[in-house]
Copies of this chain bind each other. A is one copy, B any other.
Amino acid sequence: MSQENEVQRSTYIAKQLKKKEVVDARIAAATQERGVTILLTGNGKGKSSSAFGTMARSLGHQKRAAVIQFIKGRKETGEQLFFASHPNVEFHVMGHGFTWETRDPELEKTAAEQAWQQALIYLQDPNIDFVLLDEITYMYKYGHLEVADLIAALNTRPNHQNVMMTGRTAPRELMEMVDTHSKIADERHAFRAGLKAQAGIEW
């Protein structure tokens, strides 16, 4: 190895060790062990898929999960086809009412309330390690559910339980109380370039 290369290598190693030190110090400071609440918002692609990916990760570690999808599409989704039959997953799609094509706010509200009652059961069940409330935030936007009820349920859930929630926007009270909040920005989207939505990517 040339002397110049050796210097480069040493500099690189020194930088990496410095980074490791910083990361290790942060890891040492993070000692509290309990379940977390995670909120994913924003207009970019990836919110629900991120939640389902995290669920897969939990299932990989033999955790038990429950899903409530608050918006029902016209087609059966890939995530439902993939996860609904898993022995450690309870999978619910809101019975009827709200879709992007809906016309009836009263049917929607009733369906939202039924789905929320189902969600509440899981949020009180210590056997459920991971709860996914997919697209729940639209229910607050449309006035079908009360965010105070969600916050109360999150605050009294089993200590080890992780909860993920998705939706384009979210009430401020929710954003302020969750442990983790990622916001997904749409920098560029295939749809705008005229590309057709497809099974396995969009649903």
Q: Which of A158-198 contact B (CB under 8 A)?
A: 162, 175, 178-191, 193-198
Listed residue (A20, A105, A178) with the most chain B CB atoms within 10 angstroms of its CB: A105
- CB contact under 8 A between A188 and B196, given known A105-B12, A201-B58: no
Category for how many chain A residues contact B: 35 or more
Oligomer copy total: 2
* Given A187-B183, A188-B180, CB of A195 within 8 Å of CB of B78: no
A168 to chain B, nearest CB (A): 13
A 24-42 contacts with B by CB, 8 A: 26-27, 29-34, 36, 38, 40, 42
Asked if A110 CB lies within 8 Å of chain B CBs, one says no
Determine if B179 and A182 form an interchain contact, defined as CB atoms under 8 angstroms apart.
Answer: no
A interface vs B, CB < 8 Å? Answer: 9, 12-13, 16-17, 20, 23, 26-27, 29-34, 36, 38, 40, 42, 44-61, 63, 77-83, 100-106, 129-130, 162, 175, 178-191, 193-201, 203
